[in-house]
Structure 1
């Protein structure tokens, strides 16, 4: 099932960063109708909802894996 927001239908596998999302959709007429001070918040909210909907979590630091310290072998 594709994610939609006020008539915008996003690709099922959309997983771009927020910066790319803002570049792609920030000037869309749907977002332009939102007052400037609230637009960035709404863009972030929609981006987060979209990424969660697609089951992808962008975390380039650890890809969601837990890292444990290895005990010293001295």
Structure 2
């Protein structure tokens, strides 16, 4: 059986992907930093600059939170 190569894959890329997936799962920035080893500020930058705007799950979660806030009278 042939195993796909990952020689070009950087550990940094895995940590960024992990930060995104953890955020999608509802983990806060401090929790993400504790798991990935990034600082909370780095986590915020990763999410803001690289991934958050591109993930449909994160957008859906934010939209659902907004709807829930409106239902609870916190629509702003």
* TM-score (ref. length: structure 2): 0.38
Q: When you count helix as a share of all residues, which structure comes out higher?
A: 2
Relative CO higher for 1 or 2, CA cutoff 8 Å, sep ≥ 6? 1
Q: Looking at secondary structure, tell me which structure has more strand per residue.
A: 1
Largest Rg, 1 or 2: 1
The TM-score with structure 1 as length reference comes to: 0.38
